[in-house]
Structure 1
Amino acid sequence: MSRLHLFDLDGTLIHNSAAAIEISRHLGTERETAELERDFAARLLTPAEFAAKACALWGERLTEAVLAATFEAAPWLEGIKEVWARIAERGERIAVISLSPHFFVERLLDWGAHTAHGSRWPELPLRGPIDPAGILNARAKVRITDELCARYGLGRADCVAYGDSMSDAALFAAVPVSVAVNADHHVRDLATHCYNGRDLREAYALTAS
């Protein structure tokens, strides 16, 4: 029986960091972005409000060249490409679903993800405003999972979720197998397995059969 593996990005595939944090380092806006991250974690900002403020902060300075450098330098877990190759060899599917900008998330298609879903931002360099309707939230992860299941002829019972924080809690509650990766309390108590470390091969081994 095939399975659908659902990966979060920020704090999960990227160790102890997020796309927004890594972009801010390249643009010199660490302090301002850290404030946005704190407000978001405290639920003082919705995902759409966070995206609108970050988009205004970065503006046209976020170019394709900056994005490429940011992606390359991010602190990725080890073994991502190897794990995804193993999953594909088993005839199973890989999806990345993240609240981060689509242009960052979709770069993981080149690493072996079958599908990648991020919040829809203006194209680079950033000029237009954010459309709140295109910004994902925790509930959207469940909706996208159901859409992918329908596409692949699978059900929630065939899904494995990997995540680290409150944006993954709804998905962890919806699927039978989940791995909390370097996670906080929002998902640790919901998870089937917990992993602390920097190697996705070790996290994947908890679910492989």
Structure 2
Amino acid sequence: MTGLHVFDMDGTLLHGAASVELSRHLGTFDEASAIEAGWLRGEISDTSFWEQMLPLWSAATESEIDAAFNNAAWINGVEDVFADIARRGEYSIVISQSPHFFVDRLRQWGAHRAYGSLVDPHMSTDRWVLLTPQHKVDITQSVLAELDVCESRCVAYGDSTSDVLLFEHLDNTVGVNCTAAVRSSATVLYDGDDIREAYALGRNLWEQAPTTCSESAS
């Protein structure tokens, strides 16, 4: 029976935030860190966050983004986990509030699909589509239906408040180096530097889960 693994990116597969990692490579780390800190404190809205952050990358080339992605502070074992999921005939998706142009590069590492906020330094604000916590639930449900996978065969991995709604919806969830909010809603917890170990916990949850959709909790 196939299954679906749903990963957050920032804080789960990546130490820290993609926006800060990209800015570090482009020489605007201090500015990005200040914006990120203000957003985390609730002083900057999601829209204002991107209004301030995107100009820092306006001159970035595709090769510079590639280099920032490859040199970012990834948790150990990301490619190994995607490869194992594919080898088993299962599916992996990444859903992140970070820019889609950064998240999508994880498909090069073996993720089946990647979803992120549709923002770009050269895109007008009226075309932005910011990915929200509810989108994580909606996308997961849509992919489950499309692939005909029941929720009992879905495991989500996340670390922050943006993952709480999805964690509340699913029975099988792994909190990865997570905040207090996620710790109270995750099925199991992982603290460490290797996503392969968190993934092993997720697979273990399947051994205790129903094997048919009719048995699965809604």
Same fold (TM over 0.5): yes
Deviation at 1:207, TM superposition (A): 1.9
TM-score normalised by the chain length of structure 2: 0.87
Map residues 162-181 of structure 1 onto 2, 5 A cutoff.
162-181=157-176
Change (3 A) 1:143 1:180: same
Q: Match for 1:10: what amino acid?
A: D
Query: How far apart, in 1, do the equivalents of 2:139 and 2:60 lie?
Result: 27
Counterpart of 2:53? 54
Q: Match for 2:61: what amino acid?
A: T
**1:205 counterpart = 2:200:** yes
Deviation at 1:132, TM superposition (A): 6.2
Gaps spanning 5+ residues in structure 1: where? Answer: none
Q: Match for 1:78: what amino acid?
A: N
Query: How far apart, in 2, do the equivalents of 1:196 and 1:131 lie?
Result: 39
Gaps spanning 5+ residues in structure 2: where? Answer: 208-218
Query: How far apart, in 1, do the equivalents of 2:22 and 2:73 lie?
Result: 12
Change (3 A) 1:137 1:44: farther
RMSD between aligned alpha carbons?
A: 1.6
Deviations 1:42-93 (A, max 9, x none): 233333332222112332x222121011001111111111111211222211
Deviations 1:179-199 (A, max 9, x none): 111111120111111111111
**1:14 counterpart = 2:14:** yes
Task: Report the 3-state secondary structure (helix = DSSP H, G, I; strand = E; otherwise coil) of the residue aligned with 2:202.
Answer: coil
**1:119 counterpart = 2:117:** yes
Deviation at 1:133, TM superposition (A): 4.8
Counterpart of 1:91? 89
**1:138 counterpart = 2:133:** yes
Change (3 A) 1:86 1:114: same
Structure 1 residue aligned with 2:74, among 54, 73, 76? 76
* Aligned partners of 2:119 and 2:128 also within 8 Å: no
Runs of 4+ in 1 over 3 A off after TM superposition: 130-133
Task: Report the 3-state secondary structure (helix = DSSP H, G, I; strand = E; otherwise coil) of the residue aligned with 1:134.
Answer: coil
Query: How far apart, in 2, do the equivalents of 1:178 and 1:74 lie?
Result: 25
Task: Report the 3-state secondary structure (helix = DSSP H, G, I; strand = E; otherwise coil) of the residue aligned with 1:44.
Answer: coil
Change (3 A) 1:95 1:44: same
Deviation at 1:155, TM superposition (A): 3.5
* Aligned partners of 1:9 and 1:98 also within 8 Å: yes
The share of aligned pairs that are identical, in percent, is 44
Change (3 A) 1:132 1:33: farther
Deviation at 1:149, TM superposition (A): 1.1
* Aligned partners of 2:23 and 2:56 also within 8 Å: no
TM-score normalised by the chain length of structure 1: 0.91
Query: How far apart, in 2, do the equivalents of 1:173 and 1:132 lie?
Result: 30
